[in-house]
Structure 1
Amino acid sequence: MGCELTKLAASELNHQDVIDRPPPPGDPRSPLTPKQQYCIMASWKGIFREIERTGITLFIKLFEENEDLLHLFEKFAELKENGELHSSEELSEHATKVMHTLDEGIKSLGNVDAFFDYIRHVGATHHQVPGFKAENFWKVEEPFLQAAKTTLGDRYTPNIEEIYKLTIKFILENLVKGYEDSGVENGKQPQKTES
């Protein structure tokens, strides 16, 4: 199943040799082929244009499905009780910050070493959050996919969905690794995580 954006770009270039040439080999540490990386970068532009709204959707869905995470965000727990979560400036700021982190991760997919450095560092910083556990990262997976689908609408094809699934899993695996490796370096025992 090919990426529609690749086909469109290739037809606009009108160079048959570009179409027929196999893509350069990707980094074996990445779950994405170069073609899939191209597709997510093209698709991600649609999300980036609505980054704040997508981030808010992600967090609303995250808290709906994992109310236990609200204890990590004291401000958000109060807002949820008062029904003000959707219009919260604090939620908007935090959601946008998280989406920018995902943006940096996605933009660095073409350079796996830079990706690992960045995403694992972000994972390690979560030791500063009281009560945070490595498995909390995995709770973002489904809300992220739902938020991407909401934002992209009919552009969220089965092919794009599969690429987003591979991408978010790769990001979350490396957030967990950064968190756990940092805990070992700081003398903490790594926690078992779900996958």
Structure 2
Amino acid sequence: MERTRGEGDGEGDPLERPSPLTDKERLMIQDSWAKVYQSCDDVGVAILVRLFVNFPSSKQFFSQFKDIEEPEELESSGQLRKHARRVMSALNTLVESLGSADKVASVLRLVGKSHALRHKVDPVYFKILSGVILEVLGEEFSSLVTPEVGAAWTKFFAMVCRSITAVYEEAGWTKLSTPTERSSSSECV
């Protein structure tokens, strides 16, 4: 699931312009998500803790827990749990809306604009988060996230990352730096 960053601008990279999800892929994502979402709070916390442990620079956007180092402390943070719930709810809305391109675009536009303009989060963190989500789902739900299901999720997150990047560009985002830690997995997978 890990990709290394290539030279140049990524032109010709199939992940830059993913094809639309097929009905089969959409159903695989929705079916697997329904089971994942039953453990919404625990999965959300696991995702954010993994993000912050593996990519500590991502904590800089969270004044409430940016100085917490220990995973156990992160797990027990009420603010982290609250944000994890928001992330999972946004993902749930996206997954439930996969049949409506307009609804998906609307959600991604709202998320992208708020993160670009209000929170000033570099869009690379959406790519990083996508990879972390795929890792956690693959580990925590290995019997559910088969290679075929994982491929559908990968395609979904490539679409999400591309859409978010487009929203950032529309919003006038100019900072396109990448964090140095674990840069080989910072691309959409």
Q: Higher helix proportion, which one? A: 1
RMSD (CA atoms)? 2.3
Kept in 2, the 8 Å contact 1:105–1:118? The answer is yes
Structure with higher Rg: it is 1
Superposition deviation, residue 79 in structure 1: 2.8
Superposition deviation, residue 151 in structure 1: 3.3
Query: Which structure carries more relative contact order (alpha carbon 8 Å, separation 6+)?
Result: 2
Kept in 2, the 8 Å contact 1:124–1:180? The answer is no
Match of 1:157 in 2: 146
TM-score by length of 1: 0.75
Q: Does 1:106 align with 2:95?
A: yes
Superposition deviation, residue 43 in structure 1: 0.9
Match of 1:44 in 2: 33
Larger mean CA deviation between 74-83 and 136-145 belongs to 74-83
Q: 1:128 aligns with which of 93, 118, 125?
A: 118
Kept in 2, the 8 Å contact 1:180–1:190? The answer is no
Gaps of 5+ in 1: 1-28
Closer, same or farther: CA 82–103 of 1 in aligned 2, 3 Å: closer
Gaps of 5+ in 2: 1-17, 179-186
Closer, same or farther: CA 170–136 of 1 in aligned 2, 3 Å: same
Identity percentage over the alignment?
25
Closer, same or farther: CA 146–72 of 1 in aligned 2, 3 Å: same
Alignment of 1:84-103 (within 5 A): 84-103=73-92
Alignment of 1:1-195 (within 5 A): 31-80=20-69, 83-126=72-115, 127-130=117-120, 132-183=121-172, 189=174, 191=176
Deviations 1:50-83 (A, max 9, x none): 1111111111111122111111112222332595
Superposition deviation, residue 94 in structure 1: 0.3
Kept in 1, the 8 Å contact 2:74–2:80? The answer is yes
Deviations 1:8-29 (A, max 9, x none): xxxxxxxxxxxxxxxxxxxxx8
